[in-house]
């Protein structure tokens, strides 16, 4: 069920039975010349909907804007500063906890959010408020992703392209896939600026002129569907595992004594 679609009596019934919430988070940022800027939050939302449908757990509204200053040179990238993002997510979850939520799955589709969600998750656990896990779809099926695509790309690559082709085909500029590949960084390892073990870039544009990585022409809606189903299986299992835990299993460990 989707929190935004329900009236409060239905939600009361949910909180009497369950204490898990699925919170989708993404970004609104450039995804190459061929994908919509909402790519990450559209993907997160689709997985959250699917998991809610499969499991019956509650999903909340999507956090559509994340930590994306590294994409700002490309027109339209929206973002909030990192401290603001953390405070926003923390306040959001603390207030969900008022209703009895004590475990959260962050269905996150933007790599730039990960460390911030982990930092917030730590505070929430350390304060004994809630236990939150951060989940990214592609990290749940790394072997399959590698198997399906030759040139993956961490951002705006074939895996994200395939997912949007599957989920929102009207939002893909199919006629720009070659342009995305040729004007971008087909081989991320070769493109990403590092030197003597240090990253010497802060912004995406320093590594890819058009903001895309990998070979987008390798993507298809069929591959997208396959990936979506496979990752949804993982998310479903994660939700069920988390819901089945006793709260004491999830709390911060005690101090070590030798």
User: CB–CB of 213/184 below 8 Å?
Assistant: yes
Per CB under 8 A, which of residues 199..218 are in contact with a copy of itself?
199-200, 202-203, 205-206, 209, 211
Shortest gap between Cβ of 52 and a copy of itself (angstroms)?
Answer: 14
| Total number of residues that touch a copy of itself (CB under 8 A) | 98
* Residue number with CB closer to a copy of itself (9 or 147): 9
CA distances from 108 to 38, 112, 113, 210 (A): 13, 10, 7, 24
What is the distance between the alpha carbons of residues 119 and 126, in angstroms, rounded to a whole number?
11
* Segment lying near a copy of itself (by CB under 8 A), choices 49-57, 92-100, 146-154, 214-222: 92-100
Residue from 69, 129, 217, 225 touching a copy of itself (CB under 8 A): that is 69
Shortest gap between Cβ of 151 and a copy of itself (angstroms)?
Answer: 20
* Segment lying near a copy of itself (by CB under 8 A), choices 48-56, 94-102, 147-155, 213-221: 94-102
What is the distance between the alpha carbons of residues 82 and 71, in angstroms, rounded to a whole number?
14
Q: Does residue 50 touch a copy of itself according to CB under 8 A?
A: no
Per CB under 8 A, which of residues 141..200 are in contact with a copy of itself?
141-142, 171, 173, 176, 195-200
User: CB–CB of 139/230 below 8 Å?
Assistant: no
Q: Is 237 helix (H, G, I), strand (E, B) or coil?
A: helix
End-to-end CA distance of the chain: 47
Give residue 124's Cα distance to chain centre.
Answer: 19
* Residue number with CB closer to a copy of itself (122 or 187): 122
Q: Does residue 30 touch a copy of itself according to CB under 8 A?
A: yes
Residue from 20, 22, 25, 42 touching a copy of itself (CB under 8 A): that is 42
What is the distance between the alpha carbons of residues 157 and 127, in angstroms, rounded to a whole number?
38
Shortest gap between Cβ of 255 and a copy of itself (angstroms)?
Answer: 5
Record the tokens describing residue 136, joined without a space: 């990214």
Q: Is 150 helix (H, G, I), strand (E, B) or coil?
A: coil
Residue from 25, 51, 52, 65 touching a copy of itself (CB under 8 A): that is 65
């Amino acid at each position: 069920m989707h929190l935004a679609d329900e009236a409060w009596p239905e939600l009361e019934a949910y909180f009497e039975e369950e204490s898990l919430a699925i919170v989708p988070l993404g970004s609104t940022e450039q995804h190459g010349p061929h994908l919509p800027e909402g790519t990450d939050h559209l993907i997160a939302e689709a997985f959250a909907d699917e998991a809610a449908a499969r499991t019956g757990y509650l999903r909340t509204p999507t956090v559509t804007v994340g930590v994306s200053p590294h994409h700002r040179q490309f027109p339209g990238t929206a973002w909030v500063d990192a401290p603001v993002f953390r405070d926003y997510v923390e306040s959001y979850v603390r207030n969900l906890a008022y209703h009895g939520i004590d475990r959260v799955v962050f269905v996150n589709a933007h790599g730039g959010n990960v460390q911030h969600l982990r930092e917030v998750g730590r505070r929430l656990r350390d304060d004994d408020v809630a236990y939150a896990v951060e989940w990214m779809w592609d990290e749940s099926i790394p072997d399959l992703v590698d198997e399906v695509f030759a040139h993956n790309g961490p951002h705006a690559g074939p895996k994200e392209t395939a997912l949007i082709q599957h989920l929102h085909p009207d939002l893909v500029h199919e006629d720009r896939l070659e342009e995305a590949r040729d004007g971008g960084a087909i081989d991320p390892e070769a493109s990403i600026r590092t030197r003597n073990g240090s990253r010497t870039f802060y912004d995406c544009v320093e590594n890819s002129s058009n903001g895309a990585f990998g070979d987008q022409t390798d993507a298809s809606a069929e591959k997208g569907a396959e990936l979506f189903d496979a990752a949804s299986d993982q998310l479903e299992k994660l939700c069920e595992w988390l819901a089945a835990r006793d709260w004491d299993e999830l709390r911060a460990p005690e101090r070590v004594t030798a």
